[in-house]
Amino acid sequence: MAPRRLTWRVGEVVETRPDTPRTKSLFLEVPDWEGHRAGQHVDVRLTAEDGYQAQRSYSIASAPESSRVELLVERLEDGEVSPYLTDEIRPGDGLELRGPVGGWFAWEASEGGPLLLVAGGSGIAPLMAMIRHHRAAESPTPVRLLLSSRSYEEIIFREELEDLAAETLQITHTLTRSTPPGWKGYDRRIDEQMLTEFAFSPEEHPLAFVCGPTPLVETVGTALVELGHDPTRVKTERFGPTGG
Ligand SMILES: Cc1cc2nc3c(=O)[nH]c(=O)nc-3n(C[C@H](O)[C@H](O)[C@H](O)COP(=O)(O)OP(=O)(O)OC[C@H]3O[C@@H](n4cnc5c(N)ncnc54)[C@H](O)[C@@H]3O)c2cc1C
């Protein structure tokens, strides 16, 4: 018999919570959920009345310590699946899913670090699972997060990140389209200079996780290696074909 994580099953949406104007968190209860590692994702499958099916991947944003599975979905205007998940689905509805999937892009507190996290937009989702796990496990590992968002209003998980910032968790933001008055963070796309200023040095041998739109992931992955970071410790996950 195929392992449970490879078979389709139905989770129940128990809560939906808007986060930014274009994102929503879905909280699911999945029968016999065997747990996940921070950074893993699930595959979600929608079936239309005529039998047409569409399948997409969504990272698990909740910590392994949480009993509910949280998915953070960004609405793409012309998308097939994401507008349904952000606009239509309601508490009480079922959602067909398979997982958890993916072992490479995952972190457990016992692996240590230091941890270098770089995300663009909804790419924060799997990294949020790591940050929440870091907190829940009371890990002493130093963590630095660089998060690129279009504007202040579009910073995903902004309030929770503000609450979580601590001596062991340093958060840096860059806003690529607009900045509020008095903004002291970065205001451009992530580049090598920014990474030099923000990242741990290669000598500190950080474990890096980079996630978001393909162009961001490629730029950051390449820059980290050029800066001298160990390529085997730079892990990347691409969410989609276009930039944000
Ligand atoms: C491993 C993995 C984990 C993922 N985790 C998340 C997550 O946690 N949250 C989340 O919101 N999404 C996540 N994604 C992206 C998600 O799987 C879908 O690609 C996304 O929701 C778009 O699906 P759609 O059906 O709405 O759009 P589609 O109908 O597939 O595409 C509509 C249009 O948007 C473009 N497009 C497709 N994907 C993206 C994208 N990601 N960014 C920008 N433009 C795009 C297409 O080229 C097309 O023009 C993940 C992807 C992968 C591979």
82 lines ligand 1 (CB under 6 A): yes
| Residue from 98, 149, 239 whose mutation best tests the ligand 1 pocket (most atoms within 8 A of CB) | 239
Closest CA to 110 of 67, 69, 143, 140: 140
Fold adopted by 109-239:
Rossmann fold (3.40.50)
3-state secondary structure of 138: coil
Q: What does the alpha-carbon distance between residue 182 and residue 225 come to, in Å, rounded to a whole number?
A: 33
CATH class held by domain 9-101: mainly beta
Q: Is the pTM of this model over 0.85?
A: yes
225 lines ligand 1 (CB under 6 A): no
Per-residue pLDDT of the chain (244 residues; tens, 9 = 90+): 667 778 999 999 999 999 999 999 999 999 989 999 999 999 999 999 999 999 999 999 999 999 999 999 999 999 999 999 999 999 999 999 999 999 899 999 999 999 999 999 999 999 999 999 999 999 999 999 999 999 999 999 999 999 998 788 999 999 999 999 999 999 999 999 999 999 899 999 999 999 999 999 999 999 999 999 999 999 999 997 643 3
Amino acid at 31: P
Q: Are 173 and 186 in contact (CB under 8 A)?
A: yes
Question: Residue ranges per domain, the chain?
Answer: 9-101, 109-239
**Measured in angstroms, how far is the CA atom of residue 240 from the centroid of ligand 1?**
5
**Measured in angstroms, how far is the CA atom of residue 241 from the centroid of ligand 1?**
8
